[in-house]
Amino acid sequence: MTAQKFTGKQCVVIFDDVTLRVKTREEIEKSEKKFRKLFTNMIIGVTINRIIGLDMGKSPRAIMVDVNPAFEILAGKNSAELVDRPISDTVPFCDMNIEEDLILAILQKQNHETEFHCTKSDKHFRINAFPIDEDQFVLTLQDISDQKREYLARKHLASIVASSEDAIYSVSLDAKILSWNRGAQEFYGYSPEEVLGHDVYILTPGMDRDSQLELIRKVAGGDTIKNLELVQRSKSGNDLPVFLTKSPIYDSPGNVMAISNIAKDISGIKEREEELIRAREKAESSGKLKTAFLQNVSHEIRTPMNSILGFTEILKKRIGDGQDQKYMRAIQESGNQLIRIIDDILDISRIDSNELDIHKTSFNLHKLLDRIRERFEMVMSGQDKSNIKLILRVPDEPEGACIYTDYVRLQQVLDNLLDNAVKYTDDGSIDFGYLRRDNNYLFFVKDTGRGIRKSHRGIIFNRFYRIDDKNTRVLTGTGLGLSICKGLVRMLGGSIWNDSEIGKGTTFYFTIPIEESDMPVAGQPTDKEWDEKAPDLKGKTILVAEDDEYSLQMMKIMLAETGAELLLAKDGNEALEMIGSYHIDLALLDIRLPKLNGFEILERIELAKHGIIPIAQTAYAMPEETRKILEAGFKEHLKKPISSGDLYKTLNKYFSPA
Task: Look at 1-5, 338-342, 576-580 and tell me which has the smallest mean pLDDT.
Answer: 1-5
Domain boundaries, the chain: 42-143, 149-265, 361-516, 541-655
401 pLDDT tier (thresholds 50, 70, 90)? confident
Confidence of residue 523 (pLDDT cuts 50, 70, 90): very low
Q: Which amino acid is residue 412, in one-letter code?
A: Q
Whole-number pLDDT of residue 424: 87
Whether 544 contacts 574, CB under 8 Å: no
The number of beta carbons lying within 10 Å of the beta carbon of residue 264 is: 19
CB contact at 8 A, 472 and 424? yes
Sign of CA dihedral 266, 268, 269, 275: positive
Confidence class of residue 477 from pLDDT cuts 50, 70 and 90? Answer: low
Query: 474 pLDDT exceeds 50?
Result: no
Type and span of the H or E element at 75 = helix 69-75
Q: Does position 402 have pLDDT exceeding 90, yes or no? A: no
Count of Cβ atoms closer than 10 Å to residue 21 Cβ: 15
pLDDT classification of 656: cutoffs 50, 70, 90: confident
Q: Return d(Cα 645, Cα 614) in angstroms, integer.
A: 19
Confidence band, pLDDT 50/70/90 cuts, at residue 75 = confident
Return the percentage of the chain with pLDDT > 70, whole number. Answer: 84
Q: Measured between alpha carbons, how far is 466 from 468 in angstroms, rounded to an integer? A: 6
pLDDT, tens digit (0-9, with 9 covering 90-100), for 425-463: 888 999 999 999 888 999 999 999 888 888 777 788 876
Q: What percent of the chain has pLDDT over 90?
A: 17
Nearest to 641 by CA among 527, 551, 515: 551
Average pLDDT over residues 585-595: 89
* Within this chain, domains 42-143 and 149-265 share the same CATH topology: yes
Task: Kindly report the average pLDDT of the chain as a whole number.
Answer: 81
541-655: CATH number? 3.40.50.2300
Contact of 564 with 591, CB cutoff 8 Å: no
Query: What single string gives the DSSP state of each residue in 119-144?
Result: TTTTEEEEEEEEESSSSEEEEEEEE-
Classify domain 361-516 at the CATH class level. alpha beta
How distant is the alpha carbon of residue 499 from its chain centre? 27
Q: Which fold has domain 42-143?
A: Beta-Lactamase (3.30.450)
Question: pLDDT tens digit string along 212-258?
Answer: 888 888 988 888 888 888 888 889 888 888 888 888 888 777 888 88
Confidence band, pLDDT 50/70/90 cuts, at residue 580: confident
pLDDT computed for residue 473 by the predictor: 47
478, pLDDT greater than 50:
yes
Q: What is the pLDDT of residue 527?
A: 44
Which pLDDT score, from 0 to 100, does residue 489 have?
94
Question: How many other C-beta atoms can be found within 10 angstroms of the C-beta atom of residue 329?
Answer: 13
Check: CB of residue 143 under 8 Å from CB of residue 116. no
Residue 26 has pLDDT above 90, yes or no: no
- The conformational region for residue 446 under phi > 0 = left, psi -120 to 50 = alpha, else beta, is beta
Q: Is 446 helix (H, G, I), strand (E, B) or coil?
A: strand
Q: CA of 190: how far to CAs of 194, 228, 235, 590, in Å?
A: 6, 22, 6, 72
Q: Can the peptide bond before residue 641 be classed as cis, meaning omega within 30 degrees of 0?
A: yes
Q: What is the mean pLDDT of residues 195-207?
A: 87
Q: Number of helices and strands (H, E) in the chain?
A: 19, 22
- Torsion-angle region of residue 466: left (phi > 0), alpha (psi -120 to 50) or beta? beta
User: Cα separation of 241 and 512, whole Å?
Assistant: 50
Coil/strand/helix, residue 644? helix
Whether domain 149-265 has CATH 3.30.365.10: the reply is: no
- Mean pLDDT is lowest, of 121-135, 232-246, 459-473, for 459-473
